[in-house]
Amino acid sequence: MANYFALGLTLATLLTGIFWLLARTVGAQSTRTPTAAGSSPALATSRRFPAWVAWIGDFFPMILLVFVVRSFLYEAYQIPSGSMMPTLLVGDFIVVKKFSYGLREPIFQKQLLATGAPQRGDVAVFKYPEDPSIYFIKRIVGLPGDRVIYRGKRLFIQPAHATAAVDQPLTVDYQTLSSDLSHATGEGLTTLVERLGPVNHQILISDQPTDLSFYYQQPGEPLSEWVVPPGHYFTLGDNRDNSRDSRFWGFVSQNHLVGQAVAIWMSFEKQPGGWPTGIRWQRLGAIH
């Protein structure tokens, strides 16, 4: 499916580029005009195009810069929900590095050049597999070939190259930071530090039981266990009991990847659907 904003930006870049080129190549024509006897002919300029052609062309450098940066380098997104708490909050504005997972043409997102692949622990933006017009942000926990198990609200991973028992947490370790009662929901929430290889990040766990009946069951695998297919990734939200992620709909194709979330550039104090009430300056910085 085409990205219509990217399509519009591409067309605007092409249109202003054509006008910019016309204004600088054939937009002005030099002619000789007669003058008084005994003097040299004067050089005069007559325009073949109206002034608005040059005016539109003047926007080309700025639009070209926006096109290159947004299409191939970096793009800004706003966090609309709490599925990635405490890492990301509603009102956070993030920067996504688009070339982390390959350079792609901006309209249909076909890869032009391989520049890298997701690593376990990355916070990634991708097109929602069930509706590619929607963008999701989650943490990548399973790489192609991994066996991923989510049992007792703990994550277990057998990497593709490992030979140990599948119920042994090979790359995942936990440390409890705090436990409290959420006044909004009346449920107990525990903050843990989860270690995925070299990546340490905080997650939230609820004391409410998990309904496994909504989990995606991969053919041939037990419930709450998944083997990541080639060219796909398994994702989880950091707010583990309030996130619709790979546990419910399956895997993310590498073709749906948009980029890696690398920094928070602005953060407003706000509720979903509400107006900002302040700025959270302390949240600005890199995403882990």
Q: Give the rounded distance of the alpha carbon of 59 from its chain centre.
A: 27
Task: Identify which has the larger pLDDT, 66 or 197.
Answer: 66
Range in 85-94, 103-112, 139-148, 231-240 the model is least confident about = 103-112
Active site residue 83: yes
83, 100, 243, 267: which one is catalytic?
83
Residue partners of 236: CB distance under 8 A and separation at least 6: 138, 139, 141, 150, 155, 243, 245, 246, 247
Q: Write the single-letter amino acid at 73.
A: L
Say yes or no to pLDDT of 167 above 60: no
Q: What pLDDT was estimated at residue 39?
A: 53
| Stretch among 160-164, 186-190, 191-195 having the lowest mean pLDDT | 160-164
Q: Which residues pair with 170 in a beta bridge?
A: none
110 is catalytic: no
Q: Which of 100, 127, 138, 246 is catalytic?
A: 138
Q: What are the boundaries of each domain within the chain?
A: 1-30+46-73, 79-286
pTM, 2 dp: 0.82
Q: 79-286 maps to which CATH number?
A: 2.10.109.10
Distance from C-alpha of 139 to C-alpha of 288, rounded to nearest angstrom: 10
What was the pLDDT predicted at 186? Answer: 59
Q: β-strand 135-142 against 232-236: which pairing, if any?
A: antiparallel
pLDDT band for position 222 (50/70/90)?
very high
Number of residues assigned to the chain? 288
